[in-house]
């Protein structure tokens, strides 16, 4: 999503930054501007040795009080009910919520097949409105490292926005996590209104994808 209606060009410290017409997002401290180098980095993996199941790590030196406390400080209080025997973390994105002061919250559930509404837009958002995206997700089995949100938006086949946001590293727990994105504003005007297609992905440091979802949404004069 990542929507703004301004096109800004300028120079700072000898470097030029650009935002495309139509849709662009505010940069936050956790945002990464997508470049070709970023795509290349996804193909480069640091060899760090085999992963170890979290349960095995927790069982090691369990009688050593100082090590046990150190692990609790590092990992937090891990619910053993959510820890498995295998090293792979399990991340389930539960829902996406769009919050806006102009209307009630829109809670969008994530379908298992990754196709929210094949016959029409997943949601409609009003032009020029302020909004915030909220993700609820659950982590089980093992720690997920460097979970991030990647989002790309097109209009009439032209890419108008691309964003990568780091969510963080999370330990398994029974209660879902919630991540609130910075507030943004949808563009407005005749050229901003219309239908958009988008692809959203949640991946970790190992480029393991936990969700890839393709959908359409509309920007209109009024909420629907």
For 165-187, the pLDDT digits (tens) are: 999 999 888 899 999 999 999 99
Higher-pLDDT residue of 188 and 10 is: 188
Count of CB atoms situated within 10 Å of the CB of 224: 11
- What's this model's pTM, rounded to 2 decimal places? 0.66
Q: 153: number of CA atoms within 13 Å, CB side?
A: 25
In percent, how much of the chain has pLDDT > 70?
62
* pLDDT at 6 > cutoff 50: no
Report the DSSP beta bridge partners of residue 184: 131
Mean pLDDT of 22-48: 43
Which CATH fold would you assign to the domain 54-220?
Coagulation Factor XIII; Chain A, domain 1 (2.70.50)
Report the DSSP beta bridge partners of residue 126: 220
């Amino acid at each position: 999503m990542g929507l703004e209606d301004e096109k800004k060009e300028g120079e700072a410290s000898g470097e030029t930054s650009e935002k495309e017409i139509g849709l662009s997002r505010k940069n936050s401290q956790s945002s990464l501007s997508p470049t070709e180098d970023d795509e290349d980095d996804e193909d480069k993996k640091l060899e760090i040795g085999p992963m170890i199941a979290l349960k095995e790590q927790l069982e090691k030196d369990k009688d050593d009080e100082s090590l046990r406390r150190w692990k609790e400080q590092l990992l937090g209080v891990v619910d053993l009910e959510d820890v498995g025997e295998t090293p792979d973390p399990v991340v389930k994105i539960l829902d996406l919520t769009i919050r806006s002061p102009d209307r009630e919250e829109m809670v969008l559930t994530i379908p298992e097949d990754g196709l929210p509404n094949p016959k029409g837009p997943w949601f409609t958002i009003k032009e020029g409105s302020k909004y915030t995206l909220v993700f609820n997700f659950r982590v089980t089995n093992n720690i997920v490292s460097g979970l991030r949100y990647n989002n790309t938006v097109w209009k009439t086949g032209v890419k108008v926005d691309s964003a990568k946001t780091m969510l963080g590293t999370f330990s398994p727990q029974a209660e879902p996590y919630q991540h609130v994105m910075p507030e943004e504003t949808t563009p407005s005007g005749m050229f901003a209104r219309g239908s958009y297609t988008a692809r959203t992905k949640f991946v970790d440091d190992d480029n393991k994808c936990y969700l890839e979802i393709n959908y359409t949404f509309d920007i209109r004069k009024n909420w629907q």
